[in-house]
Amino acid sequence: MIVTLLETQKKDPSRVNLYIDGEFNCGISINTIAKYSLYVGKEITQEVLDELFFSELEGRFLDRAVGFLENSPKTERQVRIYLKDLSFKKKGKWFDSLDTETLSKIIEKVIEKLHEYQYIDDERFAELFVTSRMKNKPRGKDVLLMELLSKGVAKDTAQKVINLLVEDEASLLKQTYAKKYKEEKITMKDRKKIDFLRRKGFNWDLIEQFINNESGSQE
């Protein structure tokens, strides 16, 4: 096989259309041209062409993943979901067809590089998430755990971070109640208030302790 044309794309001068044996093969970046020393008239094997195509797609997926992470941190699972969705959107634009095995390899390479460059770190994500919650929307440990699990953070990592950052859950419950109900009293019969605290992620033992303490302080 022979490289017969390297045609600069009109909409993006940093990309080139690659023609093999007179037929369009794929769009590639100028970095890929340099990496594989491509020029018109160069002989190229199918093996090298496949490697070039894989490298090109990996770079494009990586660029999009970095952009996805620029505005706010994400978990590894969120990035994986984004990349899979992206593969569906770009079918017919970046590639005509892509088997499941090749797509999985590309995603794994991208995830590996994102970890290497420290763009994704689930423990760090959990720390930022819990810190933000404590500052803006206080929650008990139960809700925090469910929220982190829903975003793809491993259970042991989530529990480790929560236990580290939420040391005094009893005080947190008291603050949460006071923010909502000010100085209103609470008893075991106040189902509405108790349900509010449960929805905020506080377990029954803590709520019962809080009610008993409040009752004692009223005497």
Give tens-digit pLDDT for 168-190: 878 888 888 888 888 888 888 88
- pLDDT exceeds 50 at position 193: yes
Comparison of pLDDT for 209 and 64, the residue scoring more: 64
Is the model's pLDDT at 143 over the cut of 60? yes
The SS3 assignment for 19 reads: strand
Q: Which of 111, 99, 104 is nearest to 84 (CA)?
A: 104
pLDDT at 216: 55
Q: Rounded to an integer, what distance in angstroms lies between the CA atom of residue 74 and that of residue 121?
A: 8
**212 phi, psi to nearest 5 deg:** -65, -40
**Statement: residue 218 has pLDDT above 80:** no
Give the pLDDT mean for 26-45.
87
Amino acid at 49: L
pLDDT band at 112 (very low <50, low <70, confident <90, very high): very high
pLDDT above 50 (res 45): yes
- Angle (nearest 5°) at CA 204 between 152 and 166: 50
List residues bridging with 20 in a β-sheet. Answer: 3, 23
As a whole number, mean pLDDT of residues 117-128 equals 95
Tell me the CA distances in angstroms from 124 to 76, 127, 130, 134, 150, one per residue in order: 11, 5, 10, 15, 16
Q: Which range (64-68, 163-167, 213-217) has the least confidence?
A: 213-217
Give me the mean pLDDT over the 118-122 stretch: 94
Q: Which amino acid is at 107?
A: I
Q: What is the mean pLDDT of the chain?
A: 88
Q: What is the pLDDT of residue 215?
A: 65
Instruction: Decide if pLDDT at 201 tops 80.
Output: no
Q: Which residue has the higher pLDDT, 130 or 207?
A: 130
Is the pLDDT at 96 greater than 80, yes or no?
A: no
Average pLDDT over residues 7-15: 86
**Average pLDDT of span 132-157:** 91
The secondary element (H helix, E strand) that includes residue 136 is helix 122-136
| Architecture of the domain made up of 121-167 | Orthogonal Bundle (1.10)
pLDDT value, residue 150 = 95
Give the count of beta carbons closer than 10 Å to the beta carbon of residue 162: 22
Question: What is the residue extent of each domain of the chain?
Answer: 64-119, 121-167, 171-219
